[in-house]
A and B are shown apart, each in its own frame.
Chain A
Amino acid sequence: MKSLNMERPTVRWAAFAMVVFEFSAMLLLSFREDFDYTALFLSIALPAIMLLQLFILRRVFPTMDQLMLLMVHFLCGMGIILLYRLHPDRAIKQLLFYAAGIIAQIAAMLLTLYIRNWKKLIPWMMLGSWAFLFGTFLFGSETYGARNWIQIGGFSLQPSEFVKVVYPFVLAIYLSRSRRIKELIPLGVYAVGCILLLVLQKDLGAVLIYFATAIVAYYVATSDPFITSIGLAGATGGALLSYQLFSHVRVRVAAYKNPWAAVDSSGYQIIQGLMSIASGGLWGLGLTLGSPKIIPVYDSDYIFAVLCEEFGIIIGLCVLVIYALIFVRGALVAMKAQQSFDLILSLSILTTLAVQTLLIIGGVIKMIPLTGVTLPFLSRGGSSLISCLAMMGVLQGVAIRQNEQEHQRWSRARRRWEEQP
């Protein structure tokens, strides 16, 4: 019988290739016009941040999911490279947000690992989420039809992004404690409250993400097809109603159905995005040789089109494979979970990130109507980057706990096997 090699594969070569990619791309940017010392500094700083994190965290938590950490930070590095090519000053700002995101990731990881009694924090989490979302509705400013930004001391924040981190915790705490409808009513009120506040802000992309997360978490916890079907039917009704109520939804659906009919207005962004991807071809036009700035919101929602134009469709597809691998590994972490809290928490986070990725990539390649959400880890936007990294921190926390428990069970099973006569 063929024996299984039990030695864990090393991430060394993948990490090395990622470092070389980031270093060579930033080095190439440093030669763009006059020699750019900031780009040269970033060519060393970006890989160093990734490697330092890997080495330090691996030492402190040997059972962490190293591959997931590498994939996430490779995507973040790629985002900063693209931003630096587009707007060096915005890339530096993004780098600061990246640093804040790393702190948020580590903090979220430690909190997930060491806080045992989340139940006590439930009222604060629920009221805090509502206060954040209601505050945005009252004091927020409107961008691209949605009132989801708030200005604090020169910074623009998107509070719905931060609530995205707390929301899976509330779902997991309630759904892991009981499966009885009566005891889940406060959770229903909380989730519907969050979704209604987002509808009031006309942030329909976030509405879709919050709804999908709640319905997946509920179905995973209860396996109840009846309430899940009612929820899905309600969502379909809500989607039809929002189409009737909000003019910007109608405009976007019309632009999706036939962008050429409004080539100089609502369909302009979709057409420029598609042309940008097509002009890149398989190999891309080359870093700095494309003209992606012609696409509206090129550095945030349309960053995937920029990536395909300059790096080519092959690299674009590879980035999609990396996203898929992150979600598959996340799902494996959830499937290994020994407590229903960990299972629901990790699956809710995965649903949030996966739906967000699907919405924006589907919108950019004209598979579904465009919804203004950021592409996790790649797009410009501090709130989005910090919240996505914090969510990955939570997932890492669950992974560390599961791997430790599996290691203990495996050691016991081996001991039993050795003790057998």
Chain B
Amino acid sequence: MHAEAYSLLVLASRYWFVALVLFIVGQLIYICYREARIGAFISHSISRLGTDTPAALYLISDEDHQLEVGLRLPLQAESIIGSSRRCDLFLRHGSLNRQHAVFKVTPEEVTVRPIGNALVSVNGELQRSETSVFPGDIVQLGGLLLRLGREDDE
């Protein structure tokens, strides 16, 4: 192509490229905004309506009588329970280690794993590694007995 004609074409094309990229960025911002709104609505609805995943622990016995029986501990997707303030579920209780156990909640199951040498048993069986727990199971953490129930159990 003739050099001058090519230069003219390139100069004209600058506006074309700017228009295209502005359109792309506009579209990207619009899509991000819409998806964020839908995402916020979905998470709000899920938290309002609840799911059928069992996701709360209920204190049924405390041998030292330091905590109130019936205390409800809602579980998140991953919750560390212990006597340290840094834990997701913080219980001031002498029989608990600073970080005692980790509970994981997935759509399929709930699991518990002792941290270090912490005393964790499920239905009376001492646990040393990650194990599944089911609704109604009794979990012992130190001197506390807890029952796994649904998020909205009374």
Q: Which residues of B, 70-86, contact A by the 8 Å Cβ criterion?
A: 77-78, 80, 86
Partner of A67 from the list B11, B28, B51, B116 (CB cut-off 8 Å) is B28
Cβ-based interface call for B67 (8 A): no
Do residues A14 and B10 form an inter-chain contact, with CB atoms below 8 A?
no
B107: chain A residues at CB < 8 Å are 405, 408-409, 412
Chain B 1-31 residues near chain A, CB threshold 8 A: 1, 6-7, 9-11, 13-18, 20-25, 27-31
Residue of A nearest to B22 (CB): A318
* A contact residues around B136 at 8 Å (CB): none
A83-104: which residues lie under 8 A (CB-CB) from chain B?
none
Contact of A413 among B20, B32, B49, B78 (CB under 8 A): B49
**Binary CB contact string for chain A from 1 to 26 against chain B (1 if under 8 A, 0 otherwise):** 00010101101011001101100110
Q: Assuming A179-B86, A406-B42, is B50 touching A413 (CB within 8 A)? A: yes
Query: Does chain B have a CB within 8 A of A144?
Result: no
Whether the Cβ atoms of A413 and B46 lie closer than 8 Å is yes
How large, as a class, is the contact surface on chain A?
35 or more
Q: How far is the CB of A93 from chain B (nearest CB, A)?
A: 25
Interface string of A384-414 (1 = CB under 8 A from B): 0000000000000000000001101110111
Cβ of B78: which chain A residues have Cβ within 8 Å of it?
338-340
**A residues near B53, Cβ cutoff 8 Å:** 409, 412
Q: CB-CB < 8 A to A31: which residues of B? A: 1, 6, 9
Pair B13/A413 contact, Cβ less than 8 Å: no
The answer to the question of A222 belonging to the interface, with a C-beta cut-off of 8 Å to chain B, is: yes
Complexed CA–CA distance, A21 and B50 (Å): 46
CA distance A71 to B51 in the complex (A): 34
Given contacts A222-B86, A409-B51, contact A14 B14 (CB under 8 A): no
> For the complex, what is the distance from the CA of A321 to the CA of B39, rounded to whole Å?
21
Contact of B109 with A by CB under 8 A = no
B99 proximal to A (CB < 8 A): yes
Between A and B, how many residue pairs show CB distances below 8 Å?
145
Contact of A28 with B10 at beta-carbon distance under 8 Å, contacts A67-B32, A338-B106, A406-B42 already known = yes
* Known A-B contacts A412-B51, A416-B49, A417-B49; A325 and B28 likewise in contact (beta carbons under 8 Å): yes
| Neighbouring B residues of A318 by C-beta, 8 Å | 21-22, 24-25
Whether B115 sits at the interface, judged by CB under 8 Å, is: yes
A312 within 8 A of B: yes
Could you tell me which residues of chain A, from 332 to 363, have a CB within 8 Å of some CB in chain B?
332, 336, 338-340
Which residues of the other chain, B, contact A20 by a CB distance below 8 angstroms? 20
Q: A288 touching B10 by the CB < 8 A rule?
A: yes
B25 nearest CB neighbor, chain A only: A318
Contact A21 B21 (CB under 8 A): yes
Q: Is the CB of B45 within 8 A of A413?
A: yes
Q: Do residues B99 and A178 form an inter-chain contact, with CB atoms below 8 A?
A: yes
The one of A17, A340, A408 in contact with B27, judged by C-beta atoms closer than 8 angstroms, is A17
Question: A267 an interface residue at 8 Å Cβ cutoff?
Answer: no
**Using a CB-CB cutoff of 8 Å, which residues 285-339 of chain A contact chain B?**
286-289, 311-312, 314-315, 318, 321-322, 325, 328-329, 332, 336, 338-339
Q: A329 and B32: CB pair below 8 A?
A: yes
Asked if A256 is at the interface of the complex by the 8 Å CB criterion, the answer is no
**Is B35 located at the chain interface by the 8 A CB criterion?**
yes
CB of A17 within 8 A of CB of B99, answer no
B69 at the interface (CB under 8 A from A): no
On whether the beta carbons of B17 and A21 are closer than 8 Å, the reply is yes
Q: In the complex, are the beta carbons of A315 and B21 less than 8 A apart? A: yes
Across the interface, which residues of A come within 8 angstroms of B134, CB to CB? none
Q: Contact: B41 with A6, CB < 8 Å? A: yes
Contacts of B9 in A (CB 8 A): 28, 31
The reply to whether B24 and A14 contact each other, CB–CB distance below 8 Å, is: yes
Q: Please indicate the chain B residues that have their CB under 8 angstroms from the CB of A139 in the complex.
A: none
Among B13, B29, B98, find the residue whose CB has the most chain A CB atoms closer than 10 A: B13
Chain A residues positioned under 8 Å from B49 (CB to CB):
413-414, 416-417
Residues in chain A near residue B36, CB distance under 8 A? 332
A4 to B99, CA, bound (A): 43
Q: Is the CB of A328 within 8 A of B32?
A: yes
Q: Is the CB of A322 within 8 A of B17?
A: no
Are A8 and B27 in contact (CB-based, < 8 A)? no
B-side contacts of A17, CB under 8 Å:
20, 23-24, 27
Of the A-B pairs whose beta carbons lie under 8 Å apart in the complex, a sample of 27, sorted by A's number, is A6-B41, A8-B34, A8-B35, A14-B24, A14-B27, A24-B17, A24-B20, A67-B35, A180-B98, A180-B115, A222-B86, A223-B86, A287-B10, A287-B17, A288-B10, A289-B7, A314-B18, A314-B21, A322-B28, A325-B29, A325-B32, A405-B106, A406-B46, A409-B53, A410-B45, A414-B45, A416-B50
What are the 9 A-B residue pairs with the smallest beta carbon separation, nearest first? A338-B77, A286-B10, A14-B27, A413-B49, A9-B34, A412-B51, A413-B46, A318-B21, A21-B20
Known: A67-B32, A284-B14. 11 other contacts (CB 8 A): A4-B41, A11-B31, A67-B31, A71-B28, A180-B116, A283-B18, A287-B13, A289-B7, A312-B18, A414-B45, A417-B49
